[in-house]
Amino acid sequence: MALRGIRGATLLAADDSAEMAEAVVELLTEVMSRNNLTLDDFVSVVFTATPDLHCAFPAAAARQLGFVDIPLMCAQEIDVAGAVERAIRILAHVNSDLPRGEIQHVYLRGAEVLRQDLAQ
C-alpha cells in the first residue's frame, strides 16, 4: 500500500453554504467511488477556496460523510486575476494499492477547465 495524492475541484454558482455543502459532499463521494476508497483509506484532506467564497468552511461539509477523525484543513487560493471564481479544490492524501497512474482525479460542476489533463 502506498500514500497517494488525489486532486479534485468543484465550482459553485453562488457563495451559498447549502450549495457548498452539497458540492463538497458530491466531490468527496465521487473521489471515493472512482478510486474504491473508504474513510479508513484517508490520511488527510486539504481544501482550498477562492477568495470570493465566505459562506462556510468546505471541510465542515466533509463531516457529513464521516470525516470526523481525519485531519482536514482549509486554506484560501491565491487571488490571481482572471482565475476561475467560486472554486473549491481538494488535495486528498490516501493509502491505496492503485498505481499512481490509475488514480482518478475528480473535477465536477465545470471545474474540468482547471485541469483538463486530469479531469475524467
Confidence of residue 7 (pLDDT cuts 50, 70, 90): very high
Residue 120 reports pLDDT greater than 70 = no
pLDDT > 90 in the chain, percent: 88
pLDDT of residue 118: 55
Question: Hey, where are the domains in the chain?
Answer: 2-114
> Which of the listed CATH numbers 3.30.200.20, 3.80.10.10, 3.30.1330.40, 3.40.47.10 matches domain 2-114?
3.30.1330.40
What pLDDT digit, counting tens, does each position of 51-103 carry? 999 999 999 999 999 999 999 999 999 999 989 999 999 999 999 999 999 99
pLDDT > 70 in the chain, percent: 95
Residues taking part in catalysis: 7, 63, 74, 77, 89, 107, 115
Q: What mean pLDDT value characterizes the chain?
A: 94
- Phi, psi torsion values for 28, nearest 5 degrees: -65, -40
Mean pLDDT of 1-17: 97
